[in-house]
Amino acid sequence: MRTITEAQPSDLDEIVQLVNTAYRSPEGWTNEAHLIEGQRTSHQDLERELASPEPTLILCLRETERGPIKACVLLRHKSQHLYLGMLSVAPESMNKGLGSQLLEHSEAYARKHSADRIILTVLHPREELIAWYGRQGYRRTGESIPFPYDNKGLGSPHRKDLTFIVLEKLLPAIK
């Protein structure tokens, strides 16, 4: 039975390993290894996220109550919307619906907390990932954000034309 829980400080090292593997190893279809090398996040990055003034949490999905974390997502409250980031699934657990399950759970969480939409960013040129989010109901806003080339904590890019494409999903109010 899959279990989704809020990350605890004792989970951070396992989450760092999962995120870095999901984003930067050559395994799995969602990796960015061909675009950026190096780590995607660190223990300190996650501690800073969780201590930010905007309420932030990381949800973890395990296939059993005490099993290893197989997927995670970061959620940050921003006025009327929720920012979703770092959706990660262990490469060996991909194509089992874990990412979709975490996304559905995140959307239910957002509605429960009166968010009117979820916003996320995807690295361009990751068109296959943008298309996957499109199948989940997320649409391009027309906005893009420059890649922070000066932030060495995000790894070393192989290209000079990277940007983040902003996607959003409008959430109907709960009646």
- According to DSSP, the residues that pair with 140 across neighbouring strands are 167
Q: Provide the residue count of the chain.
A: 175
- 3-170 to CATH, choices 3.40.50.12780, 3.40.190.10, 3.90.550.10, 3.40.630.30: 3.40.630.30
Q: Is the pLDDT of residue 174 over 90?
A: no
User: Quick one: pLDDT band at residue 132, thresholds 50, 70, 90?
Assistant: very high
Mean pLDDT on 143-158: 93
Q: In what order do the strands lie in the sheet with 56-62?
A: 3-6, 56-62, 69-78, 81-89, 117-124, 163-170, 139-146
User: Quick one: pLDDT band at residue 30, thresholds 50, 70, 90?
Assistant: confident
Q: Is the pLDDT of residue 150 over 90?
A: yes
Give the largest CA-CA distance in the chain. Answer: 48
Is 0.85 surpassed by the pTM of this model? Answer: yes
Q: Is the pLDDT of residue 163 over 80?
A: yes
What percentage of the chain exceeds 90 in pLDDT? 85
Instruction: Report domain extents, the chain.
Output: 3-170
Mean pLDDT on 89-97: 94
Q: Are 99 and 89 in contact (CB under 8 A)?
A: yes
User: Quick one: pLDDT band at residue 22, thresholds 50, 70, 90?
Assistant: very high
With residue 72 as reference, give the H or E element that holds it: strand 69-78
Average pLDDT, the chain: 94
Contacts of 109 (CB under 8 A, 6+ apart): 59, 75, 82
Q: Is the pLDDT of residue 175 over 70?
A: no
Closest C-alpha to 11, from 51, 64, 55, 71: 71
Cα 40 to chain centroid distance, Å, stands at 11
